[in-house]
Structures are given as structure tokens and as C-alpha cells.
Amino acid sequence: MSCEQTLIQQLRARGFRLTPQREMVLSVLHDGEGLVTAEEGHSRVQRLSSAVDISTVYRTLGLLPKFDLVSSVDPGDGQRRYEFLGLHGAHLHLICQACGQVSGIDLEVAPALVEQLQAACGFQAALDQLSIPGLCPACAVAPDG
Amino acid sequence: MSCEQTLIQQLRARGFRLTPQREMVLSVLHDGEGLVTAEEGHSRVQRLSSAVDISTVYRTLGLLPKFDLVSSVDPGDGQRRYEFLGLHGAHLHLICQACGQVSGIDLEVAPALVEQLQAACGFQAALDQLSIPGLCPACAVAPDG
DNA sequence: CTAAATGCAAATATTTTGCAGGTTA
DNA sequence: TAACCTGCAAAATATTTGCATTTAG
């Protein structure tokens, strides 16, 4: 089933409607590479239909994660980012504090962490929404800049 | 050496000055329990001296983490939080997505994670600035509300 | 037809910045 | 005294909300 179909299904199942705007927002997330801010999503959507308002983009970006089609992360730079999930599934994000680059890696790096958190304090970690700050390989070598 | 002394030393070492405002900001972080937003810090500081401006609090909160006296984390709710480090040292934060509660736990839960990230992609994780989203024990039981 | 969604504009919230005057070393 | 810091006000940024109108089902 295409993600488009999934969207329609999920919307209907909960009494939401399929609008061109929602299709477009899903589409730009689908086609775009990786993490997208609301603003970026908005400008990409506007290439498809220039009248779409950014408030609609915000509303849609708030909606899509509920359908497991999109995930959202806050890299801690004051701009939440959204990402299409269909292709690779959930993963976690590594955020370089020096250059801002974000890379996604498989959740499999951290199964032990989840178990340990569960065991140690009963906390149920949602790794798919996790972003880990640090230094990417390039910046780790040259800490300044 | 008291954290006050450390602050003075760190400030002087880098050509910064010790001001009452900076002392007060450090003080409220020191006395407060756990994570504090800029706004919270500001209102606590104002109890000590009502004229202190929030922009000064922001400036100081941007400064203190550089001295390893304070750490900052962004729980992903659009409000960065700050925390005094002297007592317990660095740790990571578990953030409940249902009730918003934040608890800190020792970095020792995740040494394997750091190694794996380093090995897998050369990423140097800064766990002390990490916050992990998920569900706290209470909310994990009663997912709604 | 009706509930839901959109566009627009205005409101909110958070953090940053310019600058004149005050303060630390 | 000189560089640094503060308070104030205004700006910048990001996101949300009210409401009249439009639209999907």
C-alpha cells in the first residue's frame, strides 16, 4: 500500500479529511531528503500551490506524526524538524553541535539502552524521537569552527 | 572549592567579570531543584533583586555552561532548560512525553551507546546534553492523560 | 448539507540585539 | 579609566489561534 493510501486510510479512520494541502505536505516530506522544518516544508509546498498558508503546514505537520507516516524531532536549535518515515522506518538522529549536520542511524545501535532504562527506572524510551547531540566525525577532528 | 569560587575563577580566567546578577543566576540554579527555564530562573532571581532583566538571565545562562558549572538541555518542548552541575555531575535526562516530568539519571546507563556510536559512524556523543523522550513509569501504565 | 479545514491576520512565546548608562577590575 | 556588563526597548524567530469562508464527504 502506498503511503498516499495509508494517509487516506488513516485520515478517514479518524474522521479527518483528505485535502490537497495535506497531500502536498506529505508529498514534499516524501520527496525531500531527510529532515525538514515547517518553513522549508512550506516553501516546497508553495512550489506546488502557492496559496498554501504556513499555518496549514504547521497544522498538517502536527497531524501526520499521529499516523506513523512522519516523525518529528527537535534538534534543540529551536526548530522542530519533520521527516517521512515510509522508506527507512524509524531511526534516531545524531546532531553535530559544531556544524549542525543531522544524520540518522538505525535504532539497533541502542537496544541495550532501552532495556537498561526500563530496568533501572521503568522508563519507556521512545528512541524514534531521540536526537543525540555530539560531534560528527569531521568536527570531532577539528573541534573549532 | 565552592562553586562560587569556581565561578569567580572561571570568569577571571577568561576576562569576564563577576557581577551580582551572575552570582544570583548561579545561586538560583544551585538552590533550585533540577531543571529551570530562563523564565523560571528570572523570576527566582527577581525575588533576590527585582530589577534584574530577563535578557541578563539569558546572557548569563548562555555563559555558565561554558564553565562546566551548569548544563543545558532542550527537552524538545521549545524551552531550553538549565541545571546546576556541582552536586551530581553530568547526567542525562528522561523526559516523559505524557506528563512532562523530567528525571535525571547517571551517564553510566549508556556507556555502550557511546562506544557504538563512535564505532559505527565516528560520532562523538555528548550524553551530558542528551534528553531521552518516552514515558515515565506512571504514564507508561496509564498512557492517556 | 454539515462538520472539518483553509487562509489570513493577529496574537503568543521565546530568545536575541542595539544602545546608553552603570559597574568591575 | 577602559572594557565589560546591565536594563530597557525593540527586533527577530517560531508557532498558535480566532474567525469568516471554503470544501470534502
User: Average pLDDT per run of 10 along chain A, which is 145 residues long?
Assistant: 81 92 93 86 92 95 90 80 80 79 82 87 86 86 56
CA neighbor of A22 nearest in space, from A3, A86, B76, A88: A3
Q: Please, which positions of strand D sit below 7 A from a protein CB? A: 3-10, 13-18, 23-25
pLDDT at res. A18: 94
State pTM to two decimals: 0.80
**pLDDT > 90 in chain B, percent:** 30
Is the pLDDT higher at A63 or at B86?
Answer: A63
User: At the top level of CATH, which class does the domain A90-145 belong to?
Assistant: alpha beta
What is the CATH architecture of A1-89?
A: Orthogonal Bundle (1.10)
- A107 close to B (CB below 8 A): no
Q: What is the pLDDT of residues B5-53, one digit of tens each?
A: 888 888 988 999 999 999 999 999 988 777 889 999 999 999 998 889 9
pLDDT at res. A144: 45
- A123 close to B (CB below 8 A): yes
Characterize the bridge pairing of strands A131-135 and A91-96.
parallel
B96-105 CB burial, b ≥16 within 10 A, e <16: bbeeeebbbb
**Contact between chains at B125 and A136 (C-beta distance less than 8 A):** no
**pLDDT > 70 in chain B, percent:** 94
- B76 close to A (CB below 8 A): yes
Beta carbon of A39 within 7 Å of strand C?
A: no
Q: Are A69 and A3 in contact (CB under 8 A)?
A: yes
Average model confidence (pLDDT) across chain B: 85
Structural domain spans, chain B: 1-89, 90-145
pLDDT at res. A16: 94
pLDDT at res. B144: 45
